[in-house]
Amino acid sequence: MGDADRPRLNRPLLFVTVLVIATSGLVYELLAGTLASYVLGDSVTQFSTTIGTYLFAMGIGSFLSRYVKNDVARRFVEVELGAAVLGGLSAPLLFVGFARAESFEVLLYATIVAIGTLVGLEIPLLMRILKEELAFADLVAKVLTFDYVGALLGSVLFALLFVPAMGLTRTSLFFGMLNAAVALLATHTLGHLIAPKVTRALRLVAILVIAGLALLFIRADRFTLWTEQALYRDPVVFAEQSPFQRIVVTRGRSTELYLDGHLQLSTADEHRYHESLVHPAFAVAPRHTRVLVLGGGDGFALREIFRYPDVEEVTLVDLDEAVVRMARRIFGAANGGSLDDPRLRIVHDDAMVWLDEHADAPPFDVAVVDFPDPGNFSLGKLYTRRFYALLRRVLAPDSVVVVQSTSPLYARRSFWCIEASMRAAGFHTRPYHANVPSFGEWGFVLARKLPFDEPAELALRGLRYLDDATLRTLFVFPPDMSRVPVEINVLNEQVLVRYYDDEVRQWDL
């Protein structure tokens, strides 16, 4: 058959195929990195090792493409179907593996290598199919252009659309279906290059893959609940993937809140934590008129704050609207309906950005800082000298600030790093700790712009945990929790995240 008689390829559709391949490949990479950081922590380490392994695996795939000598179009469709199945099932498979497998890391990196190898095969095979249609310079330019555009689409849409709207499991399944749809389309655009019997078989497989992944997509909530349930002792009663974190609530003898798999509170003993967080600061502060709460979207710290009749205005700055929405629904009785108090103003913003933009606001009398532990750099920045300097600007001269500061027993360097970073920002500090059975010994730092003494008496009576005698004991540190040498946590060198990661690995908190 001469060139004039040879069927022409539908080049626009094939370039759309390149776009989809690049988008889905990038999404699979991001899925693996995100899921690894969720379940293993230390997002920088997980993303760097995941991306490096994935790119290496793509290189393996590109190298292996040289050994595909015949039936290139058929092999391309088969690779697409393989990527559809393995990539589509990657998030569900890894969630199950984390819940039930003994060596999750082996499963994680085996999955990354397998998907990366398949993705690395796709573009070289497609370029060989197109080489008869285009001059080499045009072929490379157009294919790589669509490849890079697809990567951009994947990275942007993953964070802004797919994960917030569908969650990790459904995003994985959706792109698996997309890969299978590309394979099905390829059986039409490349059908003349594949034997008819083989084409029909590939079409049937593609349709079955799409149907299977679609069924899992529809039932993803049940699957995710089943998978997550294996991670928790008590039944899961609420689960939601927000744009920022995975929110899970379990209920047994107590109700417990988990963010990205880490326990945040238990109704069995949260009163110990929240009374210790709020009331020592209020015992020192001369006024409680205007209060700032950073974090604390569950409403429990607010419950303690609103016990004081002289509180007139509270500003809550919490990044994740989904946490506040969940707390109203799940913890409304336990937190005393504090999130609906008319004295409360809720702002959903990054606390560091908000502080930077509100330096000229009327000063606050008390600030309560209740962030999750500094397990990654996004959270670690909220424990830096720069953050505390910004916080200092919005406080009245005689105001008081309190910061939850991890455990001085299990994360000793982390605790004293937070305290030292606050002192480096110009605060006078009084560190203290309390025993919260769900967490063990937990630490806080009380601070003011001016020198001050530890509080000896509470400003409020009738608390469940604290009284005057107990209050005074909080500021006594035994030798195994006493001060240790640490570096200051600064924005461009977040040693706190390294301290915390090392200590969490040691104690498996």
Q: Mean of the pLDDT values across residues 143-151?
A: 82
Q: What's the Cα-to-Cα distance from 164 to each of 240, 243, 249, rounded to whole Å?
A: 10, 5, 19
Domain end marker among 200, 226, 252: 226
How many Å from the N-terminal Cα to the C-terminal Cα in the chain? Answer: 69
Strands (DSSP E) along 382-481, which ranges? 395-404, 428-436, 440-448
What is the C-alpha separation between 376 and 494, in angstroms, rounded?
9
Q: What is the pLDDT of residues 54-71, one digit of tens each?
A: 999 999 999 999 999 889
What is the C-alpha separation between 491 and 383, in angstroms, rounded?
9
Q: Which of 370, 453, 480, 508 is catalytic?
A: 370
Give the residue among 285, 277, 273 at the shortest CA–CA distance from 455.
Answer: 285
Please check whether residue 285 is in contact with residue 400, taking contact to mean a CB–CB distance below 8 angstroms: yes
Q: Give the pairing of strands 395-404 and 364-370.
A: parallel
What is the C-alpha separation between 417 and 414, in angstroms, rounded?
5
Residue environment code for 134-148, b if the CB has 16+ CB neighbours within 10 A, otherwise e: beeeebeebbeebbe
Residue 429: per-residue pLDDT: 98
Sign of the torsion angle spanned by Cα atoms 370, 374, 379, 385: positive
Residue 248: per-residue pLDDT: 92
Q: Mean of the pLDDT values across residues 454-477?
A: 96
Task: Answer whether residue 386 shows pLDDT above 50.
Answer: yes
Q: Mean of the pLDDT values across residues 453-467?
A: 95
In a domain, 116, yes or no: yes
Residue 25: per-residue pLDDT: 86
What is the domain count for the chain?
3
In a domain, 6, yes or no: no
Residue 287, Cβ neighbours under 10 Å: how many?
Answer: 17
In a domain, 213, yes or no: yes
pLDDT band at 8 (very low <50, low <70, confident <90, very high): low
Do 301 and 181 belong to one domain?
no
Residue 157: per-residue pLDDT: 85
Q: What is the pLDDT of residues 206-256, one digit of tens each?
A: 999 999 999 999 988 777 777 777 778 899 999 887 878 889 999 999 999
In a domain, 2, yes or no: no
Q: Which residue has the higher pLDDT, 423 or 24?
A: 423
Look-up of token digits 């949260």:
270
What is the C-alpha separation between 402 and 400, in angstroms, rounded?
7
**Least confident residue range of 21-25, 58-62, 312-316, 419-423:** 21-25
Do 404 and 386 belong to one domain?
yes
Q: Give the pairing of strands 428-436 and 364-370.
A: unpaired
Give the residue among 401, 389, 405, 274 at the shortest CA–CA distance from 327.
Answer: 274
User: Is 370 among the residues known to form the active site?
Assistant: yes
What is the C-alpha separation between 399 and 288, in angstroms, rounded?
9
Do 175 and 274 belong to one domain?
no
- φ, ψ (nearest 5 deg) of residue 191: -55, -35
What is the C-alpha separation between 124 and 108, in angstroms, rounded?
26
Do 241 and 325 belong to one domain?
no
Domain of 255: which CATH number? 2.30.140.10
Q: Mean of the pLDDT values across residues 108-114?
A: 92
Domain of 475: which CATH number? 3.40.50.150
Q: Which helix (H) or strand (E) holds 369?
A: strand 364-370
- Which residue range(s) make up the domain with 248? 227-264
Do 171 and 320 belong to one domain?
no
Residue 41: per-residue pLDDT: 63
**Least confident residue range of 232-241, 264-273, 290-299:** 232-241
In a domain, 305, yes or no: yes
pLDDT band at 43 (very low <50, low <70, confident <90, very high): low
